[in-house]
Amino acid sequence: MSTEIMKRAAELLKSGEVSLVLGWRVGDFDYDLTPSKFRTAEDLEKNCIYNDFSAANLSKYLIKTLRKEEGKVLVFLKSCDTYSFNQLLKEHKFDRERVYIIGVPCDEKVDFDKVKTILGEDIIKMKSDGTTVTVTTTEGEEKTIAKSEVILQKCVNCKSRKHVVYDELFGDEGEVLNSHRFDEVAKIEAMKPEERYEFWRGELSRCIRCNACRDVCPACTCEHCVFDNEESGVEQKVASNDFEENQFHIIRAFHVAGRCTDCGECSRVCPEHIPLHLLNRKIISDIDEFYGDYQAGDDVDSIAPLTMFNQVDVEPSIVKSRGDN
């Protein structure tokens, strides 16, 4: 599939219809792909790949790229990435006319780190055929593992296979899935307050405040983040006490509330494996409950529940009472 996709993108590049392509550049181990710009058909066909390791969501790169570059940009988007794209469009981050989207089919991505944890660190080659991941070790030994055992956290309970926006689609039109993504939230909600507090304090205690979650987040697009402002007193970098670090994540979750599409990039990039997506998912589930089902990025026209007032809106006292238990 990758070859056909790249061939088509190369055509568009050659014809001048698009001036550059945003894709994933091959690395040293098959799995270590880097988001990258491709300006020539030759570079694209040789070094760009779409496979089970193309996990990075490329939509946020469009902001920077479209500011710097001339012409139309082609971008490959997976179904979940298209929600981020729409949300960015809704926030007027770029011009739709300047983007050509090739929707690429996705049936969950592989967590290469998980593969290494299970099969060993001495892996020099890693391939996935969609059902099985096969690795080759430095000693030349081959090992396999079922793909279903090494799915990226963000793809477990995938919410949608539907590309909500595209110019051209590879594969079949997908559907919104009956996802069980809120089950993980329910598990935490069921905890006693002290238990829940301990859970989050424990998870967040590993934070090294690298800000990768923020920097990768397609909803974090402030020109100047409050955490980059040394006058704010809550500047990035490690805080004076560990509670401040916890606060950082909570503030961030609230700031992207109603705009977070649940793409899960925050959890994917966290070097400390903190399940950050659960904070956002909790807020999404509350919004659904209080204001009716809403999926950020589903479209570009609707008014988001947190940015409008409606007479049937839930009373603040109800919201507050939720915090009491």
Partner 1 sequence: MLTLKENQLDAFFALIEKKRELYLPVEQNTGKSEFKRWAEGDKYSTALRTTRSAKNFFFAKSENLYDIEMNDKKVEVIDTRKDCNDFVIFGVRACDVRSFDVLDNVFLADPVDSYYKNRRDHGLVISMACSKPAATCFCALFDIDATSPNGDIQAWHVDDTYYFDPITEKGDAFVEEFKECFTEADDAPVRKQKEETLNKIEKLPFVKLNLDGFATEEKLTELFDRPEWKDLSEACLGCGTCTYVCPTCQCFDVKDYKVSEGKTKRYRVWDSCMYSNFTKMAAANPRLTQTERFRQRFMHKLVYYPIKNEGMYGCVGCGRCLVSCPVSMNIVKVIKTMGDN
- List interacting residues with partner 1 (CB under 8 A): 27-29, 32-37, 56, 61, 113, 116-117, 120-124, 137-139, 202, 206, 208-212, 214-216, 228, 230, 235-241, 268-269, 271-273
Which phi and psi angles does 31 have, rounded to 5°?
-100, -15
Q: Which is nearer to partner 1, 211 or 295 (CB)?
A: 211
- Between residues 116 and 162, which has the closer beta carbon with respect to partner 1? 116
Minimum CB distance to partner 1, residue 170 (Å): 23
Residues in the chain, overall count: 325
Q: Which is nearer to partner 1, 160 or 236 (CB)?
A: 236
The distance of closest approach from Cβ of residue 139 to partner 1 in the complex, given in angstroms and rounded to an integer, is 7
Distance between start and end Cα atoms, the chain: 50
Buried b (16+ CB within 10 A) or exposed e, 238-247: ebeeeeebbe
Is the Cα dihedral 3, 30, 152, 84 positive or negative? Answer: negative
Tokens of 86: 């729409």
Q: Retrieve residue 232's tokens.
A: 């704010």
Shortest distance in whole angstroms from residue 7 CB to partner 1? 23
Q: Please give the structure tokens belonging to residue 9.
A: 């993108």
User: Whole-number minimum distance, CB 59 to partner 1, in Å?
Assistant: 14
Nearest distance from residue 215's CB to partner 1, in Å?
4
The rounded radius of gyration (Å) of the Cα atoms in the chain is 21
Cβ closer to partner 1: 28 or 301?
A: 28
Integer Cα distance of 276 and 273 in angstroms: 8
**Per DSSP, what are the bridge partners of residue 75?**
22, 101
CB of 289 to partner 1, least distance (A): 29
**CB-CB contact of 210 with 237 (8 Å):** no
- Residues 153 and 168: beta-carbon distance below 8 Å: no
Within a 13 Å sphere around the CA of 176, how many CA atoms are in the beta-carbon half?
5
* Residue placing its CB nearer to partner 1 in the complex, 137 or 247: 137
Our CB check for partner 1 shows the closer of 98 and 209 to be 209
Q: How far is the CB of 319 from partner 1 (least distance, A)?
A: 32
Please say which residue, 91 or 235, places its beta carbon nearer to partner 1: 235
- Six-digit token string for 72: 């139309």
